[in-house]
Chain A
Amino acid sequence: MNEVILRTTARLAVPTTVVYALYLLLRGHNEPGGGFIAGLVSAAALTLMRMAGMGLAHPSADRRRKRWDFASLAPLGLLVAALTGIGAMLAGRPFLTSAVVALDLPVLGHVEMASAVLFDVGVFLVVVGTAMTIVERIGTSR
């Protein structure tokens, strides 16, 4: 594999893929997509980044900073999902009850958001964390 080609491609592909993943995540409630898929797409993008040796996912990137560890992303996502569920209880509804909020945002216009989307963000984080942990650990010699 010629590295120049890989890196040049990755530079184009990675941002595109990440944006696409976020798009999948946010539209997932109404169109095909959602947390699981968006998480996997992001993981694919991050894997590509690492293969090309770029950015935050590379183990030998800036050594002065503590290395970003994806293993902590999974529990974080779990926390987000659980807190979404607890949020419903604070509103006096049973655990994990979804609520729909209609917002008029600049640029985007009229948006209807279900609180379940937040739950989906939790799913997204767990999937990214898990997939990347496995990729990193298996891809590293012991």
Chain B
Amino acid sequence: MRASTWLTIILIAPFVASALAPLLARRVASRWVGVASAAVALAAALALASALPQVAAGESLSATWRWVPALGVEIRLVLDGFSLFFALIVTGMGTLILLYASAYLGPDEDHGRFFAYMLAFMGAMLGVVLSSNLAVLYVFWELTSVTSFLLIGYWYHKEGSRYGAQKALLITAGGGLAMLLGFVLLYVEAGTFDLAGLSTQATQIRQSPRYPLITALVLAGAFAKSAQVPFHIWLPNAMEAPTPVSAFLHSATMVKAGLYLVARMVGVLGGTELWTWLVTGVGLASLVWGAALALRQTDLKALMANSTVSQLGLIMSLLGIATPAALAAAVFHTLNHAIFKGSLFLVTGIVEHETGTRDVRRLRGLARSMPLTAAAAGLASLALAGVPPLNGFVSKEMFFEAAWHFGHDRAGLAWLAPALAVLGSSFTMVYALLFFHGVFLARGGSSHDGAGHDPGWSLLGPPLLLGGLALVVGVGPQLVSGALLTPATSALAGAWTSVEAGLWHGLTPALAMSGAALAAGLAGYATRHRWVAGLPQMPPALRLDTWYDGFVRQLPAVADRLTRAHVTGRLSDHLGSLVAAVLLLWGYVILRLWGLEWRSASLGAIEPFDVALTGVMAASALATLAVRSRLGMAAALGGVGMPMAVLFVSLRAPDLALTQLIVESIALVLFVLAFRHLPPLVHRPVGTCRRAASAALSIGFGLSMATLTLIFTSHRVWPSIAPFFLETSLPLGGGRNVVNVILVDFRGLDTLGEITVLAIAALAVAGLMRRPARRHGAGPDERLAFPPLVTEDLSDAAPSSNAAPSSKVASPGGLERA
């Protein structure tokens, strides 16, 4: 199999599985959907792992599918060291978490829907890390936002879920739009969307006057996605999702998409003062602020969410420093964070499953009742705190070292970096102990002391395995450094960078910083009751949550006021405002074009037949004003539409004529159907002013339309494209009907857009207008769309003799079965 096909299959497989999941749930037992999904993830992980030797040797695999060559958009999948590293995290964590989720979700939950979303997310995330073309990367990026929205809102009956889902979507997609603008500006600057192509022009991009704007826009998207200060507010609310979702999307993978992008951009936008200070500053702020927020939480999941903000900040600050050593630390910590934080979330899920609460103040001494869960929790939380010999310690050492060098080399303000690093890490130690010691080891004083017991293996296996991994990677970092970290770091640094990770580096400033952070953390934990409450809090007026909530509340209110101003419940008002707006625009256009010379020669000849038809149309239009009944009006409108179809025939446009004819017929049916629901027509007297205004508007509209048509048809700025279509319709499009070839081939994308709008309209109608209540037997009171006329005869009278049962007329619609 060619590498490109193989890569494409890996990317498409989760999406296919996602489409099949609900079917599997419905046809087979829903218990197996989760296991099957985990199998898909595992297969993808193994397939990716098979590329490890090649990638570790410095090769990269790629696949290219042409999409919109004219805009530089192509689906280019590239599997280099960094993509592979991320893809393995996504699929590996996915395997464990999907397995866990199949046991976590109760048997009554909708497994099909849940795993369909999870698999679609996994596919989207793989798309993000494999796409080399930024336009395509953006598509997958927003797909992860959408699947995240669906998963946070999985229990959509809960107010909190809906709020959290909306908040996450608004913030991450808003950031995503800014990022798209940044990508477009990059394209304008460099003429390519491809990451490799952008890297080669990095110098030129950094010197362009647009560089600060591009950097700000792209980083806004990344910061929003990775929940960095000041966009971190959505992550705690995202915890309304089922715990496996929090473990997968909101700690191990999706929130790291921002880090992924920033890491990729180091080679394009990095290396400048702006980049260094902005990324490092935001990262360190998130590190300290997230950790300080985590200290104050009483809900385990909220604690974990803020801890995630803090740990992502740590990695972000490393990407700002962007030396090869810092990049290596960032890559390593990304892996370690996925391992220990995933495990912590899964443990939290078990605790909630077993005890029914997530409140830190009520949970005590769980180590006695669930020793294995406690073991997993202990390994993971100590790794988070950076205690040797666990994996978190090793990567945190590298982080301290990078921060120390940053301060040492730049001096001055840069010394804040190591200081904040130690402060944030000591906070981390405090809440890690709060989680492990407080919940599992401390005794007494609570109804939940020693509650619950260890769950079955499908729940316990994944977090234990991850906890074990944290220990194994910590003791033997060389296991991952050669095969994973080195290729990943090299892909970012642009040169082969060998990553040396080890437990013992000798007596270095980093070791002192580690020691200081751990000691301060221990001391802080012992005395936490005295100082945690006194930590500075944001005043409500400055809190972003307050701003966000205000915005979300105000926006509909403003829209409401605007809408009320022109939608008054009278159709004529509504139409009037629309027509007036269009008239203003056209008036401007006409005034601008007025000076153009008129060439009546280019206008077609007018036949008497056409004149007669136009006369009929005008008369029918006037008749709609005179007629007094709805049906009469509909008929008069038909008198406008039908001659129009004939006019199309006379102008030799059979396709148009056919369409017009049928639209006219269906519209008439729709009118008649809708009339059944409308109250009797009342003719209110209309004031003279209103009459005059309406007349002025409609006459103006008609006149401007006619004028514009004349101007446009008599004056050509560019040569007509018609000959091109006529000549190439058969050789290029394979059809002799030029109109249709234009529709489905030359301008196929436009048609695709149009039918998308149509389909959305259909779904909107289906959603807004409820279907008839399905009851047994069509009773006479159930007003069907097309009630058999007999129903009305039977409803209030005995069947008359001519409707005898022996008659051959089958009575429609369930009357016999009623």
Contacts and interface: CB of A to CB of B under 8 A. Distances in A.
B740 A137 contact: no
Interface residues of B, number: 64
A114 interface: yes
B196 to A, nearest CB: 20
Interface string A86-120: 00011011111011100000000000111011011
Interface in B743-773: 743-745, 748-749, 751-752, 755-756, 758-759, 761-763, 765-766, 768-772
Contact of A35 (B744, B765, B772, B809): B744
B138 to A, nearest CB: 16
A122 B662 CA distance: 19
A78 B759 contact: yes
Given A92-B66, A95-B68, A116-B744, A40 B663 contact: yes
B799 interface: no
A53 B669 contact: no
Task: Specify which of B674, B732, B758, B812 lies most central, judged by the most chain A CB atoms within 10 Å of its CB.
Answer: B758
The B contact surface, by secondary structure, is: helix
A113 B737 CA distance: 13
Interface string B766-793: 1011111010101000011110111000
Interface stretch (B389-397, B568-576, B651-659): B651-659
Contacts, number: 220
A28 B734 contact: no
A135 B814 contact: no
A140 B785 contact: yes
B203 to A, nearest CB: 32
B143 to A, nearest CB: 15
Given A33-B740, A61-B813, 15 more contacts: A3-B790, A24-B658, A29-B735, A34-B737, A34-B740, A34-B743, A59-B784, A60-B778, A60-B813, A60-B814, A74-B759, A85-B748, A95-B66, A116-B748, A123-B744
B529 interface: no
A59 B666 contact: no
Contacts of B740: 28-29, 33-34, 120
A123 B608 CA distance: 37
Nearest to A101: B734
A2 B65 CA distance: 60
Given A126-B755, A134-B670, A44 B665 contact: yes
Interface residues on A, range: 35 or more
Interface string B578-617: 0000000000000000000000000000000000000000
Contacts of A44: 662, 665-666, 669
A50 B67 CA distance: 43
Closest 3 A/B residue pairs (Cβ): A53-B812, A100-B734, A139-B785
B405 to A, nearest CB: 47
Interface of A: 1, 3-4, 7, 24, 28-37, 40-41, 43-44, 47, 50-54, 58-61, 63, 67, 69-71, 74-75, 77-78, 81-82, 85, 89-90, 92-96, 98-100, 112-114, 116-117, 119-120, 122-123, 126-127, 129-131, 133-142
The A contact surface, by secondary structure, is: helix
A4 B774 CA distance: 27
A115 to B, nearest CB: 9
A36 B655 CA distance: 10
A125 to B, nearest CB: 9
A54 B786 CA distance: 10
A59 B772 contact: yes
Nearest to B743: A34
Contact of A37 (B67, B662, B741): B662
Contacts of A85: 748, 752
A120 B744 contact: yes
A33 to B, nearest CB: 7
B733 A116 contact: yes
Given A31-B736, A135-B670, A142-B677, A74 B758 contact: yes
A69 to B, nearest CB: 8
B734 A119 contact: no
Contacts of B66: 89, 92-95
A36 B326 CA distance: 59
A9 to B, nearest CB: 14
B154 to A, nearest CB: 22
B794 to A, nearest CB: 13
A77 B790 contact: no
A73 to B, nearest CB: 8
B813 A40 contact: no
A28 B659 CA distance: 13
29 contacts: A29-B740, A30-B736, A33-B658, A36-B659, A43-B666, A50-B785, A59-B772, A59-B813, A60-B812, A60-B813, A61-B813, A69-B766, A71-B766, A74-B759, A89-B75, A92-B65, A95-B749, A96-B745, A96-B748, A99-B734, A119-B744, A119-B748, A120-B744, A137-B769, A137-B771, A138-B674, A138-B769, A139-B673, A140-B783
A3 B809 contact: yes
Given A30-B737, A138-B769, A98 B748 contact: yes
A140 B783 CA distance: 7
A71 B762 contact: yes
Given A31-B737, A41-B662, A142 B69 contact: no
A23 to B, nearest CB: 12
A139 B786 contact: yes
B676 interface: yes
A58 B666 CA distance: 17
Nearest to A78: B759
B666 A136 contact: no
Interface string B632-676: 000000000000000000000011001100110110011001101
A94 B761 CA distance: 28
Contacts of B670: 134-135, 138
Contacts of A70: 762
Contacts of B744: 29, 34-35, 98, 116-117, 119-120, 123
B84 to A, nearest CB: 24
Contacts of B669: 44, 47, 51, 135
A84 to B, nearest CB: 9
A63 B745 CA distance: 42
Interface in B56-104: 65-69, 75
Nearest to B807: A4
Nearest to A35: B744
Task: Specify which of A89, A117, A119, A126 lies most central, judged by the most chain B CB atoms within 10 Å of its CB.
Answer: A126
